[in-house]
Chains A and B, each alone.
Chain A
Amino acid sequence: MFSFCTDPQSLEGAAWLACYLTTGKHLDFYGAFGTVLLLLAVTAPVALLFGFLAAMAARARLAPLRWLGKGYMAVVRGVPDIAFFLFFVIALDQAIEWIRHKILCPDWSEPVYQGNDFVVCPAAKMPLSSAPQWVHDTYSFTLAVFTFAIVFGAFAGNVLFGAMRAVPRAQTETAEAYGMSRRQAFWRILVPQMWIYALPGLSNLWMILIKATPLLFLLGIRDIVYYAKELGGMKTQAYAYPHPDWRLWYFLALLVFYLAFTKVSQIALDRLMRRLNRGQATLGGQSGGAMS
């Protein structure tokens, strides 16, 4: 990075450290913080959407739709996250490649499953073997977002389902008395009022989601925990910057990052809670309302 970094062996003290902390691998490490934040930024809304759809389905009058919503929430919530991550990503990846294989290589005569091997035609590979590394990275990142969204969507669905039921029945009844249809009452009365009941549960989920990001490494994405472990491990002379076991320091940095991040989240969520409480028929809303 710096001009004086060409010969790491000759460096000492602050100069060594400056060069050490700006190696290509360290820059990748800093970039991984961005990956984690991006994952959170994309996953949270997608998971909320999945959850909302699941909650709506679970309330549907059509029985199969209701079973689908409730089944999704029950199954995904009941399976350990790690097991789900290990199974689902491989299954999804193979399903995508299998479908592409059927479409793109109809003339392929060899079986897809040969003993232990899963072999599709080269054109059906997802992404193609010849694709540049960033395509592979984007693909695995997308799979990761989707998997996280499915897992956390099931929990969000359960929270929203409960929140929808927590809105006082009188509110919906009044809407119906005004002649609103079921649909109108849902979108105009129930949904705006349910967030206040959903927020404590959703904020819990957000915190858990932040802490679940190290699961990324299971999906083949190099996240900050992977880099901390890799960079912190003892380095022999085979490396340009040999050093003893420094994992403690790297993990301490992660600890500070996660704590700071959850603290900021907590402040933001508390503010949101105060705002949503305004004018609501809840204890927080009424006391706040009386003061303003």
Chain B
Amino acid sequence: MKKILLATAALAFSASFAIGGETIRMGTEGAYPPYNFINDAGEVDGFERELGDELCKRANLTCTWVTNDWDSIIPNLVSGNYDTIIAGMSITPERDEVIDFTLPYLPPDPSAYVALSKDVDVKNGVIAAQTGTIQANYIAQSGATVVEFATPDETIAAVRNGEADAVLADKAYLAPIVAESNGELVIVAEVPIGGGVGMGLRESDTELKEKFNAAISSMKEDGSLTKLTKKWFGEDANSF
């Protein structure tokens, strides 16, 4: 009898938890400044942290942040370990088959090749890219040899130590690294790949998608999204 009472109490307790406000777990990579990174205090920081918190506020949701490897960021979303992906993910038809995207919160932004010198042949050389990115796909189709790495940081290190001739990644990620390299690294070329960047959601989560779409639209309308984009990506960044 006592056990049954305890069990019911536990059930009631957990049920009340579920009803008392929806908690959305925001999944991000935490290794792609300025989009998202883990700051020195050990917390998720960056453009998407600020954006996500604001969107949650506008959509009246309680949000917590979770980090996950880029490699397995989609599988862990669909199996329910977190509810959104907000990790600088470009909206592509291939990804859209597996998950759903909100409206884009960043317009299409060029990718850039970065190398140790201007005269690297990006069409036939060895190019580093992060696994599972649009850039990795692009290199494979361009005829160059692609070497893939699990984290963005390793792709830069590969260029520095000569393992790859150049790296292809979002220009917004590479620009600060080039600027702070004291001339060691240079931007060789830019290519326009990828659609806009949006939040990834499970295809079954249509209600949540509507909430975030409404929040993103309201941020576009009142100009706060533009302000936030300029704050993290510089004054001349593309924004809505």
B24 CB–A CB distance under 8 Å: yes
Please state if B79 and A240 are interface contacts (CB–CB under 8 Å): no
Q: Which of A110, A118, A129 contacts B78 (CB 8 A)?
A: A118
Chain B residues in the interface with A (C-beta under 8 A): 11, 14-15, 17-18, 20-25, 31, 33-34, 37-43, 46, 62, 64, 66, 68-69, 75-76, 78-81, 83, 98-99, 151, 153-154, 156-157, 160, 176-177, 180, 202-204
B21 A28 Cβ-Cβ under 8 A:
no
Which chain A residues in 168-186 approach chain B with CB under 8 Å? none
CB neighbours of B160 from chain A (8 A): 245
User: What is the CA–CA distance of A242 and B22 in the complex, to the nearest angstrom?
Assistant: 37
On chain B, the residues within 8 Å of A117 by CB distance are: 78, 80, 202-204
Q: Is the Cβ of B79 less than 8 Å from the Cβ of A94?
A: yes
**Given contacts A104-B11, A229-B151, A237 and B80 within 8 Å (CB-CB):** no
Q: Are A238 and B157 in contact (CB under 8 A)?
A: no
A90 to B25, CA, bound (A): 18
A120 touches B80 (CB 8 A): yes
| Residues of A participating in the B interface, judged by any CB pair closer than 8 Å | 8, 23-25, 27-28, 90, 93-94, 97, 104, 110, 114-120, 122-123, 125, 128-131, 133, 136, 217, 220, 229-230, 233-234, 236-242, 245, 247
A220 touching B78, Cβ below 8 Å: no
Residue numbers in B under 8 Å from A125 (CB-CB): 18, 80
Q: Given contacts A123-B15, A129-B25, is CB(A24)–CB(B202) below 8 Å?
A: no
A24 and B79 contacting across the interface, CB-CB below 8 Å: no
For B24, what are the chain A residues with a Cβ–Cβ distance below 8 Å?
Answer: 129
A118 and B80: CB pair below 8 A? Answer: yes
Specify which chain B residues have a CB less than 8 angstroms from the CB of A229 in the assembled complex: 151
Residues of chain A with a CB closer than 8 A to B17's CB: 128, 130-131
- A236 touching B42 in the complex, CB below 8 Å, given contacts A117-B204, A129-B23, A220-B81: no
The answer to whether residues A130 and B21 also contact, given A24-B40, A116-B98, A230-B31 and a CB cut-off of 8 A, is: yes
Q: How many A-B residue pairs have CB under 8 A?
A: 109
Which residue of A is nearest B202, CB measured?
Answer: A117
Contacts of A120 in B (CB 8 A): 80
A240 touches B39 (CB 8 A): yes
- Taking CB as reference atom, which chain B residue is nearest A120? B80
Given contacts A116-B203, A130-B62, contact A123 B14 (CB under 8 A): yes
Do B31 and A129 have beta carbons less than 8 Å apart? no
Among A115, A130, A230, A240, the one with the most B-chain Cβ atoms within 10 Å of its Cβ is A130
Beyond A118-B78, A245-B153, 11 extra complex contacts between A and B, CB < 8 Å: A94-B79, A104-B15, A115-B204, A117-B78, A118-B80, A123-B15, A130-B21, A220-B68, A220-B76, A233-B154, A236-B177
Contacts of A129 in B (CB 8 A): 22-25, 83
**Chain B residues in 8 Å Cβ range of A238:** 33-34, 37, 46, 176
**Counting chain A CB atoms within 10 Å of each CB, which of B18, B39, B99, B203 scores highest?**
B18
Q: Which residues of B contact A114 (CB under 8 A)?
A: 203-204
Compute how far the CA of A120 lies from the CA of B18 in the bound complex, rounded to whole angstroms. 13
A128 touches B18 (CB 8 A): yes
Query: In angstroms, how far is the closest chain A Cβ from the Cβ of B79?
Result: 5
The 5 lowest CB-CB distance pairs between A and B, nearest first, are A233-B153, A24-B41, A130-B23, A24-B42, A23-B40
- B204 and A123 contacting across the interface, CB-CB below 8 Å: no
A242 contacts across to B, CB distance below 8 A: 180
28 pairs from A and B in contact (CB 8 Å cutoff): A23-B40, A25-B42, A27-B42, A104-B14, A110-B204, A114-B203, A115-B203, A116-B78, A117-B203, A118-B80, A119-B80, A119-B202, A123-B14, A123-B15, A123-B18, A125-B18, A128-B17, A128-B18, A129-B25, A217-B69, A233-B31, A233-B151, A233-B154, A234-B156, A237-B176, A239-B39, A239-B40, A242-B180
